[in-house]
Structure 1
């Protein structure tokens, strides 16, 4: 199964432009699952300016994106759970802790944030151990509250939030391209991940603070519409067999949204 070894460079390649004017080219994504709090995008070709390191301890845009990936896993996991696809749901519930959370612990400490290891594990265990649905839903809601406590979104500019949305969609495109190949479902888990990331990217827009939302109303509206235009790429959570899907539409949306952010 294709794991999240690619996410950190996916975020870095998009977000590097928040601190440098250079263009970051797409490269194979090979970062370790438990990424360090500071990392660099891939080396530039000769003559190009190297992308700066991205420090999750201080870069709110990258930090928010990584929390968004955790939310995306959980969103699709709960969607599958509610639809009765319990075994698929269990896999998605395990991945945030196994793949993503460890790479954020240093950033939580640096930011003097509590993190959410305990509620993350509690939800995963309740799903994996087939506990009562009411218990699972209660644990999920408690975890969402705990994640919100750690998110800097309320104090972020609309530009930086939208850049984070763009980075999430870029990784969603990577996932989708692995999930759907040659008009066929090649890896349903990655397709589902892309769906979750897209949903959280859209949800982020409604949480931009009022002052910034007013200032960037047009860019936010356009970004929301661009994401909604992708909906038909995910007609179901559990596709099988032949399936026409085009990841280039997601890549294009991510690029367009980045331009919207830079227009603010």
Structure 2
């Protein structure tokens, strides 16, 4: 049995610095947060922002920090989750009566991310999703009944789920790891002097994690035991991130510490990497569908 150790490193150095120093050989994956040491020890880098709540240079609105390093199917799936996370945050705020904030969040999928996925969605025959997202944002801005907003949001989530089912589970899991890192980046930017100073970024982080949870639950229903176990591990790590959140207004008792989210992402990646070469993961897609292109 391989020994496992955790090392806390900053997001600026990450596991790549350990590899450069010859400490570990990195494993394949998004973000490089797991590797194998010379003595065979599996090293999981628990990522932490430079300084409590300090944003990382180059990260910001739109999730550029992690998103910029992603490619192909994982980038596409991350961006679908990014849009869903904004809508989930907006829906929760709308239910809670904070309609101004809800409208802002529901408008961001089109403003910030849709152009990045538009061509791929068209090729998949899913170009109509733009109209659904726009209609949802317009209904929220018009002050529609919460039940109507919820129904429209659920329709969008259903469309996103159908798109994801066309892709291998390994890519879907890697995208969840990436989206959790994006949530950590947004959370770090939300903090100042150990408290929430940017409520919008804090709500973004919360919404992204809700999107991760929804997709992990869907993967957990897979007929593949390996995929089920990986999804359960992701849900377990999401449970640990609850300590970093109060209510949606940033109130209540919670630990304002981005490393909680970065650490969860690193441990999630271990589960995703274990599945990456598992042939059973290739079969987890909608019946009759081919590769997601």
What is the TM-score normalised by the length of structure 2? 0.68
User: Which of the residues 272, 283, 287 maps onto 1:261?
Assistant: 272
Check the 8 A contact 2:103/2:137 in 1, yes or no: yes
Which digits, 9 at most, give the CA deviation of each residue in 1:152-183, with x for residues without a partner? 335422x3222111101100000000112221
The structure with the greater share of residues assigned to strand is 2
Aligned counterparts of 2:92 and 2:250: Cα–Cα separation in 1: 14
Tell me what 2:176 maps to: 165
Which digits, 9 at most, give the CA deviation of each residue in 1:36-65, with x for residues without a partner? xxx963xxxxxxxxxxx723xxx2x22211
Distance change >3 Å, CA 22–CA 136, structure 1 → 2: closer
User: What aligned pairs does 1:198-217 form with structure 2 within 5 A after superposition?
Assistant: 198-208=209-219, 210-212=222-224, 214-217=225-228
Check the 8 A contact 2:30/2:174 in 1, yes or no: no
Count of residues paired in the alignment: 228
Distance change >3 Å, CA 112–CA 143, structure 1 → 2: closer
Highest RCO, 1 vs 2 (Cα 8 Å, sep ≥ 6)? 2
Tell me what 1:126 maps to: 139
Check the 8 A contact 1:185/1:242 in 2, yes or no: no
Aligned to 1:261, the other structure's residue is in SS state helix
Q: Show structure 2 runs of 5+ residues with no match.
A: 1-15, 17-26, 35-46, 50-55, 276-293
Tell me what 1:71 maps to: 84
User: Higher mean Cα deviation, 78-87 or 237-246?
Assistant: 237-246
Which digits, 9 at most, give the CA deviation of each residue in 1:67-93, with x for residues without a partner? 111111011111011011111111111
Aligned counterparts of 1:40 and 1:180: Cα–Cα separation in 2: 22
User: Which of the residues 88, 92, 108 maps onto 2:105?
Assistant: 92
Larger radius of gyration: 2
Distance change >3 Å, CA 246–CA 200, structure 1 → 2: same
What is the TM-score normalised by the length of structure 1? 0.75
Which digits, 9 at most, give the CA deviation of each residue in 1:191-232, with x for residues without a partner? 0000011111122112126233x1234333222111111112
Tell me what 1:219 maps to: 230
Distance change >3 Å, CA 128–CA 186, structure 1 → 2: same
Tell me what 1:138 maps to: 151
Aligned to 2:77, the other structure's residue is in SS state helix
Q: Does 1:251 align with 2:262?
A: yes
Q: Show structure 1 runs of 5+ residues with no match.
A: 1-12, 42-52
Tell me what 1:233 maps to: 244
Which digits, 9 at most, give the CA deviation of each residue in 1:93-151, with x for residues without a partner? 111111111211111133343341111111101111112333323322332233333x2
CA RMSD, 1 decimal:
3.2
